[in-house]
Amino acid sequence: MSTSIWHRDNAEAVVAEARNLINKQLPQASRRQFLARGLTLGGLGLLSGCSIDDSPTAEAALTRISHFNDRVQGWLFDSSRLAPTYPDSMITRPFPFNAFYDESKVPEVDASNFLLEVTGLVANKRRWKLDELRALPQYAQITRHICVEGWSAIGKWSGPRFGDFLRAVGADLSARYVGFQCADDYYTSIDMATALHPQTLLALDWDGQPLPPKYGFPMKLRMPTKLGYKNPKHIQAIFVSNTYNRGYWEDQGYNWFGGS
């Protein structure tokens, strides 16, 4: 079977499953309105930003389709495919500040007392100092940060590969999820395939200098394969789990997988 036929057949199966979800969950009027907008993978990816009905039935349908969209994005994700990289001359300076609070509310973390907690399905449950993290092999990348709000910016981040860190702590790499808790009360979780992607960094530096507080000191997870809200800042705790976890924005309706 050719690649094009394989993708066509699977795309048809995806659309068929989505239509079944809609037909089971939405009232007839809402169903017509939804289908009139076009049923495509791109449309499914935008569902978290749409409001088609205020009824609990419609909300339940959108939730189910959002979970379905997560499965599709996970199926399409290629751990060997790299996001584009850019020259130093294309770095966005100043890089935009973005958070769910004003810049004046950025948390101040004491580097001398900082300890990164690692729990869950890991062999080595202990806390890591910043200098221990810096002792791991460091990698730099210049990649594009894409925000769900519609803007993007190019930045330079460096730090250990997150996959290397997970191996260093003896994480169960067959586990499904990695979760994060942050100093600014932000929280999120990602799939293990993205955690092990070679461009996923536990970023300690920004543009050659220690990560400034407004960009996530003491560390942020930098994933050019995910939208910006999936890149947690001010990380304090990491846990590996097979239990499905959502996140700050995901609990407010954003798509969980969040691929860019």
Question: What residues contact 136, with CB distance under 8 A and at least 6 apart?
Answer: 160, 164, 165, 168
* pLDDT tens by residue, 11-60: 455 445 544 544 454 454 444 444 444 444 444 444 444 444 556 654 55
Exposure string over 69-83, b if 16+ CB within 10 A, otherwise e: bbebbeeeeeeeeee
Q: In whole angstroms, what is the distance from residue 67 CA to residue 79 CA?
A: 21
pLDDT at 251 over 50: yes
The per-residue pLDDT of the chain, averaged, comes to 82
Q: How far apart are CA 232 and CA 207, in angstroms?
A: 18
Measured distance CA(153)–CA(158) in Å, rounded = 16
pLDDT in tens, 169-192: 999 999 999 999 999 999 999 999
Q: Which residue has the higher pLDDT, 191 or 62?
A: 191
Per-residue tokens: 123: 């062999």
pLDDT, position 45: 43
HSE-up of 22 (CA within 13 Å, CB side)?
Answer: 23
Write down all domains in the chain, each with its CATH number in brackets.
88-252 (3.90.420.10)
Task: Find the mean pLDDT for residues 216-239.
Answer: 97
Who has greater pLDDT, 3 or 117? 117
Confidence of residue 260 (pLDDT cuts 50, 70, 90): confident
Distance (Å, whole) CA 64 – CA 114:
40
Instruction: Quote the pLDDT of residue 17.
Output: 52
- The pLDDT tens digits of the residues spanning 81-116 come to 899 999 999 999 999 999 999 999 999 999 999 999
